[in-house]
Structure 1
Amino acid sequence: MTVQNVVWPLALLGIVAVALVFIFVISQARQPATEQETARSTHTAHVIQAWFFGLLVLGFVVGTWLTLRHFPIPLQRGAPLAADVEMDVEGFMWGWTIPDTPIQVGQTVAFRVTSKDVNHDFAIYGPDGNLVAQTQAMPRVLNKLLVTFQQPGEYTVQCLEYCGVGHGFMRTKLTVSKHATGTAPGGTTLGKGGH
C-alpha cells in the first residue's frame, strides 16, 4: 500500500469531520437560548474545540511519522552515502542528463542532483505510475537522493516544478533490470519533445 492510497482517505475523513462540525454549529445557531444555555453551549464548544485540535495534532504527528520514517533524502553533508551506485544528474531547460549506469533490482542508488539553469524537481515514478522519490534540482546546489529500486521495469523521471514552456516534456526513462544487463539510458539528454 502506497502513501498516496492512505493519505487520500484520511484527507476525506478530515473534510467530512469538519463539515459535520459546521453542520452541528449551524443547526444550533438557529435556536434562541437563555444565558445558562449559552454558557453551557460555550463550554461544550470549547471542549469540542480542544478535543478536535488535539486529534488534529495527533493525526499530524502520526501522519508525519508514517510518511517520513522511510524518507529517502539522506543527510546532505558528512559521510559518504551507503549506496551501491552513484549517479550525477543535471537538470536543464528542458531535459535531464543522466549517466549510462546499469541499475538492478535491490540496488540502492545515490542520485546527486543539480541544475544547470533554474529550479527543477527531480521526481522518479515507478512502472506502476506511483511516485517513488523526488528532490529539488537547484543551480549551484547538490542534493542527494537515495532510492532502492524494488521492482524491475521502466521508471519515469519527470520535472514536478514548472520551469517554462517545455516543462511538460522534461522527462526521461530509467530501466531497472533483474540482472546486470539492464542500463539507464546512456548519457540521456532529452530536450523538448523527448520522452
Structure 2
Amino acid sequence: MTAVDRLLARDAAPTPRADARRNLERLVTAARAAVAEVGVAVTAQEIAQRAGVGKGTFYRRVPSLDALLTAVLEEVLDEGIAAADRALAQPDPWQGFTEFAAAYVGLRAESCGVNDALGGAGSGEVDRCISDLRDRLRELVGRAQRNGSMRGDTAWEDVAFALAGVGTADHTVGLRAAPDQWQRTLRIVLDGLSARR
C-alpha cells in the first residue's frame, strides 16, 4: 500500500478530489526527498515548500508531520519487502540475494532517515514491516547458503549489519565518497559473502 493510500485510509473523510490527491502525492514525494537530504531536522514547512503547497494545505491533507513520516516509512519498508519477494522468486538464490542487496541498501538509507526523524516511534504497522523484512532477509541468506553460493560461516544477522554498513558515510579520513561509492562498497561486501570467489 502506498503512503498516499495509507493516509487516505486513516482519514475518515470521503475520497478527496483529484487536485487534493495530487497535493497529497506531492507531499509524500517531498517528504521522502526532504528526509533524505535534511534528515531528522525536517519540518512540515520544509516539506510543504518542496511540494509547492502552503502549510495550510499540508495540514488539510495530513493530520501531522509524524503521520506523514510514518506513512512514508511504511511505504519504504513495503518496497523493501517487495524487493525481497522478487529476490525469493529468482531461481538463482545468489542472483536474487544480490538484487535484493542493491535495492535494500538504497532503501535502507531512506528508511533510517525517516525512522530517525520520527525518533524511532513508528507504528504497529512499522514493526510488522520490519519483522517481515527481517524474515525475508533470513530466508534469502538461508537459500544462498543452502545452494552453496554464499559462505556458510556467516550468520544472517551478520549479513544484515554488513549491508547496513554499505551506505553509512559520505566521507572518511578526509575523503569524499563518489556518487557511486555505495555500489562499489556493495560489490566488495558481496565478494566477501560469496562462496564462489
Structure that is richer in strand per residue: 1
Q: TM-score, normalised by structure 2?
A: 0.23
Name the larger-Rg structure.
1
Structure that is richer in helix per residue: 2
